[in-house]
Amino acid sequence: MAFKHSLSIMSARFSTVYKLFLFLLVLAIVAAGVSVGVLLPTLSGFIDQVEELQVLKSIGDYAKTIFGDQPEAQEAAYAHLVEVYDAFLGIIDGNSLMINVAIVLAILLYFVFVLFMMWGMYCVSDIMHNYMSSNSKFGFASNLVVNFVRAMRYASLYTLLSLVYYAFGVFIVWLLFLTVYKGSALVGCMMTLLVFFLLTSVRSSLFAGWAPAMVADDMTARAALAESCKMAKERFGMLMSWYFAYYVLVFAATILLGVATFGIGSVFVLIVALLHTRIFDMVVYYRYKGRRYYVDVFNVIDPTIKQRTI
């Protein structure tokens, strides 16, 4: 029922999709500008040296000889490609400090981007709470301003925990590549994707009630996280299976529509999925608490009438 009701609510408040898209577009443009301004000067020397190697040209020259009938030319092109590869490794070694600094800066920039993105996602949760609880409609921009402090507390803790969580996930995948996957790159890629879906589903299940507890029950960020984990403990199987299936479906739709629409469809799918998961979290939390909620202007759902299940 939560899935069905979340779709009804999203239909009633579909204009939020466009507002969320505009917010993320502005955020992405600002982030891209800052990233270029910070990372480009840091890596300028490294980039210049790599450009002098003409790596792409060397790869292209070798690729042309593969389909030809001149083995001598192919051997010469391959030997040159090996030289370019060795030179590339030498450039990396010579610019290791610069590259490490750039990696740290990139991580910091990513942290700030996710931080501000979660500011917007918290406000989406608040907008949906107001609609579900009293059929009220609040503006997205005004919500960003009013909830800035609370949203940033939530976003800071959410982003920090997510980075630590996924860093652990990357470490697990690296260990698997060194042990289990080293014989097959294809199997390694497929299993890495599977691990990513599992990790994301677990995180979403544990955090499902976090923002809803803050906006609906006025809890602090830490208290709301504890309440979310409590809810997840009771409904983990249902939440985990739903999120896993949902993320696999969204991934497939993103790829298929991305190919068919040159990437435009992928953006639309991701924005809708972001909004829908937020609404789904709110519905699950309302049902967990046994609260009535609007799914549209004319229909109010009372989860206590039937057994409270997802």
pLDDT at 178: 75
CA angle 253, 259, 262 (to 5 degrees): 115
pLDDT (0 to 100) of residue 52: 86
Per-residue pLDDT at 63: 79
pLDDT computed for residue 309 by the predictor = 45
CA 36 – CA 43 distance, rounded (Å): 10
User: Which residues does the chain have with pLDDT short of 70?
Assistant: 68, 181-185, 306-310
Tokens of 291: 């609260």
How much is the pLDDT for 307?
47
Question: Is residue 296 classed as helix, strand or coil in its secondary structure?
Answer: coil
How far apart, in whole angstroms, are the C-alpha atoms of residue 192 and residue 260?
25
What per-residue confidence (pLDDT) applies to 143?
95
Position 182 scores a pLDDT of 64
Q: Could you please report the per-residue DSSP string of 183-243? A: G-HHHHHHHHHHHHHHHHHHHHHHHTTHHHHHHHH---HHHHHHHHHHHHHHHHHHHHHHH
What own/partner pairs with CB < 8 Å and gap ≥ 24 does 33-37 have?
A: 34/109, 35/106, 35/109
pLDDT digits (tens, 9 = 90+) for 2-43: 999 999 999 999 999 999 999 999 999 999 999 999 888 888
Instruction: Please list, in sequence order, all residues whose beta carbon lies within 8 angstroms of the beta carbon of residue 196, skipping any fewer than 6 positions away.
Output: 169
Residues recorded for the chain: 310
pLDDT tens readout for residues 133-173: 999 988 899 999 999 999 999 999 999 999 999 888 888 88
Please enumerate in sequence order all residues whose Cβ is within 8 A of that of 154, keeping only pairs 6 or more positions apart, or say none. Answer: 118, 122, 210, 211, 214, 221, 224
pLDDT for the residue 306: 62
Q: Which two tokens stand for residue 212?
A: 């809803």
- Those residues whose C-beta lies under 8 Å from the C-beta of residue 224, and which sit 6 or more positions away, are 154, 209, 210, 211, 212, 213, 214, 217
What's the first-to-final CA gap in the chain, in angstroms? 6
Please give the model's pTM, rounded to 2 decimal places: 0.85
Q: What is the pLDDT of residue 78?
A: 82
